Amino acid sequence: MTYRPPVREHLFLLREVLEIETLSNLPGFAEAPMDVVEQILDEAARFCAEVLAPLNTVGDKHGCVRGSDGSVTTPPGFKEAYRQLVEGGWPALGAEPAYGGQGLPSVVNLAFSEMSSAANMAFAMYPGLTHGAYSAILAGGSDAQKALYLPRLASGEWGGTMNLTEPQCGTDLGLIRTKAVPAGDGTYLISGQKIWISSGEHDLTENIVHLVLARIEGAPEGTRGISLFIVPKFIPDAEGKPGRRNAVSCAGLEEKMGIHGNATCVISHEESVGWLVGEENRGLALMFVMMNEARIGVGLQGLAQGEAAYQAAAAFAKERLQMRALTGPKNPTGPADPIIVHPDVRRMLMDARAVLEGGRALIFWTALHGDLAQRHPDEAVRRKGEDYMALLTPVVKAFLTEKGFVIASDALQVHGGSGFTEHFPASQYLRDSRITLIYEGTNGVQALDLVGRKLAQNGGRAVMTFAAEVDAFVEANRVDAALKPFVEGLAAVKAQLQDGTMWLMQNGLANPDNAGAASMDYLRLFGLTGLAYMWALMAKAANGRIAAGDGDPFYAAKLVVGRYFIERVLPDAGAHLARIKTGAGPVMALAAEAF
Amino acid sequence: MTYRPPVREHLFLLREVLEIETLSNLPGFAEAPMDVVEQILDEAARFCAEVLAPLNTVGDKHGCVRGSDGSVTTPPGFKEAYRQLVEGGWPALGAEPAYGGQGLPSVVNLAFSEMSSAANMAFAMYPGLTHGAYSAILAGGSDAQKALYLPRLASGEWGGTMNLTEPQCGTDLGLIRTKAVPAGDGTYLISGQKIWISSGEHDLTENIVHLVLARIEGAPEGTRGISLFIVPKFIPDAEGKPGRRNAVSCAGLEEKMGIHGNATCVISHEESVGWLVGEENRGLALMFVMMNEARIGVGLQGLAQGEAAYQAAAAFAKERLQMRALTGPKNPTGPADPIIVHPDVRRMLMDARAVLEGGRALIFWTALHGDLAQRHPDEAVRRKGEDYMALLTPVVKAFLTEKGFVIASDALQVHGGSGFTEHFPASQYLRDSRITLIYEGTNGVQALDLVGRKLAQNGGRAVMTFAAEVDAFVEANRVDAALKPFVEGLAAVKAQLQDGTMWLMQNGLANPDNAGAASMDYLRLFGLTGLAYMWALMAKAANGRIAAGDGDPFYAAKLVVGRYFIERVLPDAGAHLARIKTGAGPVMALAAEAF
């Protein structure tokens, strides 16, 4: 069973739900009419299905190998696939035209990202991290730094990494100890050890550009004393070619549960030469520019692993013959019925579909607001775009990664015993997907970001705007009989979210532990509300096509899956609200020593 | 961090909740007064913590190795640990005195099983499977078979396996193709290939007794034509010593996501010599005697992995310093606070505790009813014991394995990035636990067993008896102010369960897909109700001790965790009930081709 990129779903979202053609007056969108987008996505699908997907198992089984000289060899086939990736211009899809990119809306680039992550997550992380480095330099680099690095990162000719974590600090970057000492010539000498550096060292590119957080000698303690540096593996010479080897190296590879095809490195800086990006002691802010974008990407990875796992499970369920349907044989001439006839198997597949299709819409819708924030001429639209991006980034990251993992686990369950063996892809999807709940800020950190920062920002403007938008949709569509269950479901869950929001406002300030204890349930309730809104938008679009006489069964199926979401996924909202309202009491009552 | 067996929890359950000392008039219980039980459990805890637990990682990393001759070598240290296991008499704990066993109540043996499974699940599966073979022969073997095999299996001197699955059949054992041809001397020649055979071949014992399902030439098709055979690896000679090598061998080892220390074999029978157990064509019934017992054991494995994972997470959370508490520094002299101060970390640990402690009680309570079914002089008590065992076995198996997996996943999450590496035990617990949702009947099969068979058996006698027992408890304790939240929570969830049961009765017969679509949510609702009842019993026992002036903080903690269960775990019940009542409609609406 090969992964089939869901291009039809992408086109439905872009064309009929988000209607990106109405934005053709905006930069980037002008260059991407739907027929061009469709060609791009078809070509992307071919590349991901035919080149990347077949290497997914290879990467898992072989992993990366570190030589005694610190070099890292990627799994067989990765190098050639990477060459094709660069040649196809895929890394440049969403980069700025000024640096050789194609400048397409990020919402279009997202479709490619989903496909490549689903086909081969460990592989896709190499260009993924490169894009992170690109974004950080774009956000804070000098003109010279931009001119030197951005074209090479945009094309994928050079790789990039983010050097954040150290043994004593993951979430708590204020504890960073890596030191930067001015060398006197404008550069810095960086010393320290970084761990869990994805794509930290490899044989795919002729150079690797490390973005490194470090503390300049004498800088203030904590997060206010951290600066960001560019540390290239090979220091570019006057012509911008990789020159002298820098004192940055891979001291070891991490043994991990999954994503074996990605080199997760211990990176050692022994007076490596670094160039400051932006101002001294302002490194964290720059890092968060990159991080927010990366968090949407991680939500997408979770979704992508769920999609690939779902597809494998659906294919297995249609082939595996075992027992008869409860309502009588459906394959009477065979020895047994395909297990997809069993309602509990169907339940797991439908759970997956309902969340994947709604979740994909939420990511795309959020990313479109990111595009609007950057490209729209109207300040109010830009501001709303920024608000939504800020508000929904933690929701997309945490809700969709944990759902992706549950879907991968259910997909494994559909396989029965076969799922637990490594002869089927189910185990790898489960193992690979698990990291998405952790990196780029654990899901708990996302939940705290949502309730502790994003809700309150600008006097709660973002969440109030979102609530008003949902209310307006509900009002405008109440009379639409075909949309009734969607509008009612949305109105109900939005009321629950509002109830939870009010509770947080009233109780979170009085005792911040109330906010902390409620945070994950609040985020999940937000996720359900977001998906309910997306399902209402999708159902409206599907209804429109059906009313217009479009007989494509895609639209009828969309409504069936949407109804499933409303009837069988949304009921979780009540439990989340009930838990929010327990407050910190039961959560914090047991003394730490009693654990 | 070493696994610490929760002996205090076991003693609380046995002494104060189940009050097994009141049963000292029953066989087995008479030999196990609480002071003796306490000694046994202390010794068991020492063995599991000091001998088995240190080999858990070793087993995961080394796995089993198959030689070119089909021999299988277990991981370093397993053989010596197994020798100590047998020498300590641990496998004999729950076996019949007639066959060299100690005849202890299974509820006592369960405590040992939990500890050994938590310490080293892959290892514990070797004696676990042996006990399965023991049970099948005990249930259906001839006197000669019992005399020959049971003492050697009871002691652990010989190992045992269950040869059920074949490539074309896992759940659907009616599709078995392995053939048995009468040899003319009372034995049969068995031919066929079995897969996923746990403990199928190894170097721990001088002989291995395979219990094999096969079809005697000319037997009816389907499940009515399957017989059970004993196929010893070495055919016992006249003195009962391992003699001639039988034609049964390991043709390969399965590559798996977890339980690497257990040899999961492809077992090849090439006219192996087998002895019929019980009657021809009645093999499945015998296998289910064993299987029902095994299912409780698998529920216990799920719980045990959850417990071990929880302990590792709690230890990590108390040591790892990262960020400050929302309410101000708790470790002001350190660089940061231990992460256990963060409410969302605490939430995951409390979720684990609430389910583990309640789940352990449910397993012990169910197993005690199994003991009563076998040992009590009063027929009504025996019948109730049988009813409860039958009713709750699928609940214990499915609900506690899926909860165990969720706990293992949360425990990994508490570790942050460390959890995804193989330097901490979190990944192994997650990977090992995943099989428990699948083997001995997938959780979906358990749910169908519950709604399709167990509910309706004897006119619904079991579920009505259980409901009446809960009602009686609620009535008897309504006036107890200290127990109020527990009694109210229990009454509420029991009403939801009853509502769901009624819905199933009214809609399940009309359309069996309604029952199938509701089955997993119904099982989960049943699990929550069972745990609510256990928590009420435990709270009552704890209140009693506190009222009696016992100052052990254990009891106060028990009440805190119980309150958490009622306030923050039980709210899921409403979502389950809502899903039950959607019926098959949304689940089955999408055509199979649309997946």
Conformational region of residue B259, where left means phi above 0, alpha means psi within -120 to 50, and beta covers everything else: left
Q: Give Cα separations from A12 to A48, A357, A386, A482, B23 (angstroms).
A: 20, 11, 25, 19, 67
Residues A474-516 pLDDT 10s: 999 999 999 999 999 999 999 999 999 999 999 998 999 999 9
Q: From the list B338, B346, B582, which residue is nearest A588 (CB)?
A: B346
Predicted local distance difference test score (pLDDT) of residue A288: 85
- Asked if pLDDT for residue A2 goes beyond 90, the answer is no
What pLDDT, on the 0 to 100 scale, is given for residue B406? Answer: 98
Report yes or no on A405 lying in a domain: no
Q: Which of B110, B125, B153 delimits the end of a domain?
A: B153
- B420 has a chain A CB within 8 A of its CB: yes
For B256, the closest of A327, A420, A515 (CB atoms) is A420
Question: Encoding tokens for residue A195?
Answer: 């761990």
Considering only CA atoms, which of A363, A362, A342, A350 is closest in space to residue A563? A350
Q: Is residue B259 part of a domain?
A: yes
What was the pLDDT predicted at B370? 95
List the one residue out of B139, B128, B157, B98 whose CA is nearest residue B277.
Answer: B139
Q: Which residues of A are less than 8 Å from B592 in CB distance?
A: 318, 338, 340-341
Residues A144 and A237 in one domain: no
Give helix A283-319 / helix A426-434 axis angle, nearest 10°.
160
Write out the two tokens for B153.
């299996």
Q: Is residue A365 part of a domain?
A: no
Q: Is A1 strand, coil or helix?
A: coil
A118: domain CATH number? 1.10.540.10
End-to-end, the C-alpha distance of chain A in Å comes to: 45
Q: A416 vs B442: CB contact, 8 Å cut-off?
A: yes
Q: Do A169 and A41 lie in a common domain?
A: no
Tell me what ipTM this predicted complex has. Answer: 0.98
By the 8 A CB rule, do B450 and B395 touch?
Answer: yes
Burial category of A181 from C-beta neighbours within 10 Å (exposed 0-12, middle 13-18, buried 19 and up): middle
Among A259, A280, A301, give the residue marking a domain's end: A280
* Residues ≥6 apart with Cβ < 8 Å to B198: B125, B129, B161, B162, B262, B263, B264, B439
A508/B94 Cα distance (integer angstroms): 53
Q: What is the CA radius of gyration of chain B?
A: 24
* Structural contact between residues B491 and B573, judged by C-beta atoms closer than 8 angstroms: no
CATH assignment at residue A223 = 2.40.110.20
Residue stretches of chain B with pLDDT short of 70: 1
Nearest C-alpha in A relative to B410: A437
Bridge-based pairing state of the strands B179-182 and B208-216: parallel
pLDDT digits (tens, 9 = 90+) for A281-318: 999 999 888 888 899 999 999 999 999 999 999 999 99
Residues A263 and A229 in one domain: yes
Contact B416 A170 (CB under 8 A): yes
How many angstroms separate the CA of residue A372 from the nearest CA in chain B?
Answer: 34
Work out how many domains chain B is built from and give that number. 3
Catalytic residue (choose from B271, B440, B488, B567) = B440
Q: Is A516 on the interface with B (CB under 8 A)?
A: yes
Pair B136, B30 in one domain: yes
Contact A568 B587 (CB under 8 A): yes
Distance from CA of A96 to the nearest CA of B (A): 33
Total residues found in chain A within this entry = 595
Give the chain A residue whose CA is nearest to the CA of B593.
A318
> CB distance B582–A567 less than 8 Å?
yes
Q: Are A232 and A208 in contact (CB under 8 A)?
A: yes
- Concerning whether A440 is annotated as a catalytic residue, the answer is yes
Based on the fold, state whether residues A242 and A116 are members of the same structural domain. no
Average pLDDT over residues A91-107: 94
Residue A192 lies in a domain: yes
Side-chain half-sphere of B114: how many Cα atoms within 13 Å?
31
Catalytic one among A440, A469, A475, A488?
Answer: A440
| Shared-domain flag, residues A146 and A11 | yes
Please tell me the distance from the alpha carbon of residue A329 to that of residue A337, in angstroms, as a whole number.
6
pLDDT in tens, A414-424: 999 999 999 99
Contacts of A516 in chain B (CB under 8 A): 326, 342-344
Long-range (24+ apart) CB contacts under 8 A made by A279-282 are: A279/A227, A280/A216, A280/A219, A280/A227, A281/A216, A281/A219, A281/A220, A281/A224, A281/A225, A281/A226, A281/A227, A282/A140, A282/A227, A282/A228
Cα Rg of chain A, angstroms: 24
User: B369 near B354, Cβ under 8 Å?
Assistant: no
In this predicted structure, the answer to whether residue A209 has a pLDDT above a threshold of 90 is yes
Closest CA to A355 of A412, A285, A403, A302: A403
- For CA atoms A399, A404, A407, A412, give the dihedral sign: negative
Question: Contact, A464 vs A497, CB < 8 A?
Answer: no
B430 CB contacts (<8 Å, ≥6 apart)?
Answer: A257, A434, B258, B309, B405, B408, B409, B411, B412
Q: Choose one of A255, A280, A305: the last residue of a domain.
A: A280
pLDDT digits (tens, 9 = 90+) for A330-370: 999 999 999 999 999 999 999 999 999 999 999 999 999 99
Is B508's Cβ below 8 Å from some Cβ in A?
A: no
Write the DSSP string, B292-350.
Answer: HHHHHHHHHHHHHHHHHHHHHHHHHHHH-B-S--TTS-SSTTSSS-BGGGSHHHHHHHH
pLDDT of A1 reads 58
Domain membership flag for residue A126: yes
User: In B376-483, where does DSSP find H-type helix?
Assistant: 379-414, 417-420, 426-433, 443-449, 457-477
Which residues does chain B have within 8 Å of residue A434's beta carbon, measured at their own beta carbons?
409, 412, 420, 430
The rounded distance, in Å, linking the Cα atoms of A208 and B356 is 47
Domain residue limits at B232: 160-280
Contact (CB<8Å) A567/B586: yes
pLDDT at B16 (0 to 100):
97
* Dihedral pair phi/psi, residue B162, rounded to 5°: -120, 115
Q: Mark whether B254 and B139 lie in a shared domain.
A: no
Same domain, A104 and A172: no
Identify which of B564, B574, B501, B500 has the alpha carbon closest to the alpha carbon of residue B532. B564
- Pairing of the two strands A248-253 and A264-277: antiparallel
**What is the C-alpha to C-alpha distance for residues A461 and A533, in angstroms, rounded to an integer?**
19
Distance CA A532, CA A567 (A): 11
Question: What is the reported pLDDT for B221?
Answer: 94
Q: Find the closest chain A residue to B585 by CA distance.
A: A564
Residue B350 placed within a domain: no
Asked if B136 and B240 sit in the same domain, the reply is no
Q: State which amino acid sits at residue B57.
A: T
Are B523 and B402 a contacting pair, CB within 8 Å? no
Taking the mean position of all CA atoms in its chain, how far away is CA B411? 20
Indicate whether A94 and A214 sit together in one domain.
no
Residues B104 and B142 in one domain: yes
Residues A17 and A141 placed together within one structural domain of the fold: yes
Asked if A548 and A503 count as a contact pair (C-beta separation under 8 A), the reply is no
**Burial class of B186 by CB neighbour count within 10 A (0 to 12, 13 to 18, 19+):** exposed
Which residues are CB-contacts of B546 (< 8 A; sequence separation ≥ 6)? B555, B556, B559
Has residue A470 been placed in a domain?
A: yes
> Hey, are the CB atoms on B517 and A561 less than 8 Å from each other?
no
Give A-chain residues touching B345 at CB under 8 angstroms.
Answer: 444
| Angstrom distances, CA of residue B97 to CA of A329, B101, B133, B152, B511 | 48, 4, 17, 13, 49
Domain assignment of residue A65, yes or no:
yes
Decide: A369 and A384 in contact? Cβ < 8 Å.
Answer: yes
> For residues B170 and B178, what is the distance between their CA atoms, to the nearest angstrom?
13
Cβ neighbours of B344 in A, within 8 Å:
444, 447-448, 516-517, 519-520
Residue A200 contacts residue A250 (beta carbons within 8 Å): yes
Render pLDDT for A105-129 as a digit per residue (tens, 0 to 9). 999 999 999 999 999 999 999 999 9
Q: Which of B125, B82, B157 is nearest to B264 (CA)?
A: B125
Q: Taking a contact as any Cβ pair under 8 Å apart, which residues of chain A between 438 and 477 contact chain B?
A: 438-439, 442-444, 447-448, 452
Q: Report yes or no: A504 and A516 within 8 Å, Cβ to Cβ.
A: no
Contact A132, A160 (CB under 8 A): yes
